[in-house]
Amino acid sequence: MRNFFSRLIKDQKGMSFFIVCVGITALFGMTALVTDFGRISLARQRLVNAADSAAMAGARDLCFISDPLTRELEARQRAIDVAKANGAPEEGITVNIENYKVSVDAEQDVNLIMSRLFGVTQRNVKAHAAATVESVKSYLGIAPLSIKDQTLEYGQMVTLKFGSPNSDTPGNFGALALNGRGSMNYEYNLINGSQETVTIGDVLETEPGNMSGPTEGIDERLSRCTDGCTFDNFRPGCPKILVIPMHLDDPQGRDTIKVTGFAAFFVDREATLCQTDEIKGYFVQMASTGSTDSNKPIVSLYDAKLVE
Ligand SMILES: [Zn+2]
C-alpha cells in the first residue's frame, strides 16, 4: 500500500507541482481580492460619509451666514474643512456652490497591498453628494404676534406689536390668540412661545386690543437670555429671538390671518426705544412662500437637506 502511494506521488510529481502552483496563485489572488476589496470598500464608505457631511455643513452655512459677500466663500471652506475632518484628502475635494446647492466630490487613490503581486498598486475611489437649502414650512414655538409678509433687509427694525395710539390696524395691535383667547394666554405664549406647531397655510385667530400689560411679559422672556446676546452676536435659539408668522391679510379686531411664511427677529427693547406696550425687533431670518429658488432671502429659517 505504501509503495502504491509513493509510486503514485512520484508518477504525478510534475502534475502535482503544477496543481500546487496554480493553487497557490489562486490563493494569493483570492487573498489579494479580499484584502484589497476591504481596503477599497472602507475608503469608499469613508469618502461617501465625508462628502455627505461636507455638503450638509456647507448648505447649513448658506442658511446661517447673512452676509452675501462671504456666504459662499465661508460655506465652501466649511465643506472642505468637514470633508477633511472626515478623512477625505484635501487634494481630492471639489466643492461647487450654485443656486443654494452645495455639491461635493471627493476622490482618493487607495494603495493596494496584495494586488501588487499582480502589478496593480492603486485604485481610485470617488464619492459625490449634494445638499440644498429648503425653507421651513412649520414652526413650533412662534410668538403670539404677526406681521405683513414683506421683503425685509437683514437688520431692519420692524414693529412686531404696535403700541397705543395705533393708527395702522384698527382694533388690532398685532397680537394673536394661539390655542386659546385672552390676555393670560397671550402673555404665556409671548414668554414661552406657542406650544402648537404652526404650518404655512394655517389660519390663525387674532387677539384684539392693545394688551399693554401682558405685552410687558416680553421682558421676562428677554431676561432668560443668559449669554448676553446682542444683535451682532447671538446664539441660535436665544429667547431674544422671536419667530413670527407673516400674512397678507388686513385683520380687523377679532379676525383671522392665513400664514404665508415665518420671520425671525432679535428683540432688544432698550436698543429699539420701545414704549412698554410695544415690541420691535431686528429682522434676522425669514422663510416665506413668496421666495423663489433663484432669489432666496437672506435667511436662517431654512434648513439643509441632502439631495444627492
Ligand atoms: Zn441669548
* Domain residue extents for the chain: 2-134, 138-306
Strands 176-177 vs 203-206: parallel, antiparallel or unpaired: antiparallel
Q: Would residue 62 be called left, alpha or beta, if left means φ above 0 and alpha means ψ between -120 and 50 degrees?
A: alpha
How far, in Å, from the CA of 235 to the mean position of ligand 1? 6
For residues 204-208, average pLDDT: 95
Residues lining ion ligand 1 (Cβ < 5 A) are 225, 227, 229, 238
How much is the pLDDT for 133?
78
Q: What's the predicted TM-score (pTM) here?
A: 0.60
Whole-number percent of the chain with pLDDT over 70: 84
39-48, 68-77, 158-167, 293-302: the lowest-pLDDT one:
293-302
221 CA → ligand 1 middle, Å: 10
Cα(282) to centroid(ligand 1), Å: 14
End-to-end CA distance of the chain: 70
The average confidence (pLDDT) of the chain is 84
Retrieve residue 193's grid coordinates.
412661545
Can you list the alpha helix ranges (DSSP code H) found in the chain? 2-11, 13-64, 68-85, 183-192, 212-215, 217-223
Cα of 226 to ligand 1 centre, how many Å?
6
Quote the CA–CA distance of 123 and 137 in Å, as a whole number.
44
Q: What is the mean pLDDT of residues 146-161?
A: 88
Separation of CA 116 and ligand 1 centre (Å): 59
Give the mean model confidence (pLDDT) for residues 237-258. 91
CA 178 – ligand 1 centroid, Å: 25
How far does the centroid of ligand 1 lie from the alpha carbon of residue 222, in Å? 8
Residue 194: C-alpha distances to residues 5, 139, 269 (Å): 91, 10, 21
- Top pLDDT among 184 and 16 is at 184
